[in-house]
């Protein structure tokens, strides 16, 4: 096997190490998300926001929900701390043994779940698309069943991809996991353009694209694992102490870390009772929310979890608190201006990107309304991504579960309160409010445990943020009003103007901070 660094070796802890890792992940994630926007533009152009896209977004969301449970969410949060502990305190053979047995346990479980999902596709759709049955929309129901049978195996493929990515992230290899989503986006784009004309039901090309993309994503991870000597054959062993520990951490975390996804799935079920197009409007607006969330929130969370796990294993509470403080500062520094931009520019962003082809002006306006509502919750979502690792790194999964239950109940109550008057916009706003409930309770818990301790310089930091963001909002409102009617402009001119405003806004924000005396050393870690 290729030689690797010693099992007990530590990642780079030099000044700016976490920031550099975050920038690597953010840069590659940005590339992936930009291609994701291209994908969504292509989908909107060819399929619009009609019944076919509603059904695809439903059929694709179901396996992605389970993916959060079995892979990127609960599993990663349970697996990374245990793998880090093994790497710090055990030998190379023990680490390889843990990887092989965990891989086998995860894969065997997923095979069973996938078989049940494919065979019982009609039952699954009956649960998650109750609105189709209620309204007697048999065509939508049958199409959803056919699509689900193609998209559900993606759960196995992407979960094993996420497993491999967790191993690579633990060893400081962030690039390949961050770039992997590009493959799915490319698959969707190519299938929408080239496979669609050859199918009796053109929108089925998107379902085939998901399956193909899953195969390519998993394949991309394998060479990097091999280079570390960690491409281990799977061995099923649920009785192994390390595997049992991961399962013990994972089971409660499955709910706690996936609250956001559960909320989104509840939104999806309720949206099937709303007018045709509601699912698509929510999807297109959610995709724009996911761009800054992935670019900033998930990138920060990805790099701090291994660091927090290492600091806990080394019994270094001061560094642990400092890392959490850094994560929160980064969330506010990047999340607040992104939130304001999403809210102020909601209609502009949707029209600029998606208003063409089969995507009507009404569809764009409806999606813009839900984007503004989703945007209000961006900082809340980002804080959850950063605060939750503060518990998981300490192998405390029970507290986030309890908090997650409270947030989920809050979201459901708000859904039923707001949906009747505000339709799909009410669903989006409920999700945003629930995110702040989740983040607030996680914050309070860490403070009570004295795990989260504020470092010096917070007052000056908040003053600088406040003034810089006020300047940003004033200029954005003025510029948008000066441009005039966005929908009457040709596609490429309005897209270029929108991108220029976004780039100019980022430059203005950075310049304002600099003029206010902001020092980048405040966020170096």
Residue whose token pair is 């049992």: 244
CA nearest 211: which of 162, 261, 265, 156? 156
Q: Is the pLDDT of residue 11 over 60?
A: no
Mean pLDDT of the 442-461 span: 87
pTM of the model: 0.74
CA nearest 11: which of 323, 324, 332? 323
- If DSSP codes are grouped into helix, strand and coil, which group holds residue 217? helix
- Residue pair 285/350 in contact (Cβ under 8 Å)? The answer is yes
Confidence band for 26, pLDDT divided at 50, 70 and 90? low
Mean pLDDT of the 182-194 span: 93
Distances 54 to 111, 128, 284, 299, 307 between C-alpha atoms, Å: 27, 13, 11, 29, 40
Residue whose token pair is 């870390």: 257
Tens of pLDDT, residues 375-417:
999 999 999 988 988 888 887 878 888 888 898 889 989 998 9
Show the tokens assigned to 79: 């697996």
pLDDT number for residue 258:
60
The per-residue pLDDT of the chain, averaged, comes to 85
Tens of pLDDT, residues 80-126:
888 888 888 888 888 899 889 989 988 998 999 999 999 999 999 99
Tell me the range of 90-99, 132-141, 351-360, 425-434 where mean pLDDT is highest.
425-434
pLDDT number for residue 371:
95
Tell me the range of 303-307, 360-364, 464-468 where mean pLDDT is highest.
464-468
> How many residues comprise the chain?
525
Tens of pLDDT, residues 209-260:
999 999 999 999 899 889 888 888 888 878 888 888 888 877 776 665 566 5
pLDDT number for residue 20:
67
Q: Is the pLDDT of residue 317 over 70?
A: yes
Mean pLDDT of the 20-40 span: 75
Confidence band for 186, pLDDT divided at 50, 70 and 90? very high
- Tell me the angle at which helices 74-89 and 241-256 cross, rounded to the nearest 10 degrees: 150
Distances 328 to 118, 269, 335 between C-alpha atoms, Å: 41, 33, 10
Tens of pLDDT, residues 146-185:
999 999 999 999 889 988 888 888 887 877 887 888 899 9
pLDDT number for residue 6:
40
């Amino acid at each position: 096997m290729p030689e690797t660094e010693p099992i007990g070796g530590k990642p780079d802890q030099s000044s700016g190490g976490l920031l550099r890792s975050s920038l690597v992940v953010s840069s590659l994630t940005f590339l992936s998300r930009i291609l994701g926007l291209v994908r969504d533009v292509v989908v909107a152009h060819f399929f619009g926001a009609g019944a076919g896209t509603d059904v695809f977004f439903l059929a694709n969301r179901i396996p992605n929900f389970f993916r959060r449970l079995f892979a990127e969410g609960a599993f990663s949060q349970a697996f990374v701390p245990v793998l880090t502990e093994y790497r710090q305190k055990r030998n190379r053979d023990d680490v390889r043994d843990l990887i092989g047995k965990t891989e086998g346990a995860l894969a065997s479980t997923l095979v069973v779940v996938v078989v049940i999902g494919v065979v019982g596709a009609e039952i699954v759709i009956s649960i998650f698309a109750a609105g189709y049955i209620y309204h007697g929309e048999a065509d939508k129901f049958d199409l959803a069943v056919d699509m689900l049978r193609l998209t559900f195996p993606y759960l196995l493929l992407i979960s094993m991809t996420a497993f491999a990515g967790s191993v690579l992230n633990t060893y400081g290899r962030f690039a390949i996991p961050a770039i992997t989503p590009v493959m799915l986006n490319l698959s969707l784009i190519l299938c929408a353009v080239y496979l669609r004309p050859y199918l009796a039901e053109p929108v089925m090309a998107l379902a085939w694209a998901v399956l193909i993309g899953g195969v390519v994503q998993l394949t991309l991870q394998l060479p990097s694992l091999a280079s570390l000597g960690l491409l281990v054959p799977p061995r099923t062993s649920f009785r192994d102490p390390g595997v049992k520990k991961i399962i013990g951490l994972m089971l409660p975390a499955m709910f706690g870390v996936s609250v956001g996804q559960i909320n989104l799935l509840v939104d999806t079920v309720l949206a099937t009772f709303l007018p045709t197009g509601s699912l698509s409007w929510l999807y297109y607006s959610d995709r724009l929310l996911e761009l800054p969330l992935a670019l900033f929130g998930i990138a920060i969370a990805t790099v701090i979890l291994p660091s927090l796990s290492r600091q806990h294993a080394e019994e270094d509470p001061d560094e642990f608190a400092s890392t959490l403080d850094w994560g929160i500062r980064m969330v506010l520094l990047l999340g607040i201006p992104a939130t304001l931009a999403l809210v102020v520019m909601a209609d502009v962003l949707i029209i600029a990107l998606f208003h063409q082809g089969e995507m009507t002006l009404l569809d764009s306006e409806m999606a813009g309304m839900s984007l503004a509502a989703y945007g209000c919750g961006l900082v809340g979502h980002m804080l959850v991504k950063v605060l939750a690792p503060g518990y998981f790194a300490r192998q405390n999964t029970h507290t986030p579960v309890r908090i997650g239950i409270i947030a989920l109940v809050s979201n459901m109550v708000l859904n039923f309160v707001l949906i009747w008057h505000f339709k799909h916009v009410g669903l989006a706003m409920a999700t945003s409010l629930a995110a702040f409930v989740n983040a607030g309770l996680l914050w309070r818990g860490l403070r009570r445990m004295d795990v989260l301790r504020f470092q010096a310089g917070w007052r000056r930091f908040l003053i600088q943020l406040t003034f810089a963001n006020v300047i940003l909002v004033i200029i954005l409102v003025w510029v948008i009003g000066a441009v005039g009617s966005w929908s009457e402009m040709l596609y490429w001119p309005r897209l270029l103007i929108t991108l220029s405003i976004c780039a100019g806004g980022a430059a203005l924000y950075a310049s304002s901070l600099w003029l206010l005396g902001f020092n980048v050393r405040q966020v170096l870690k």
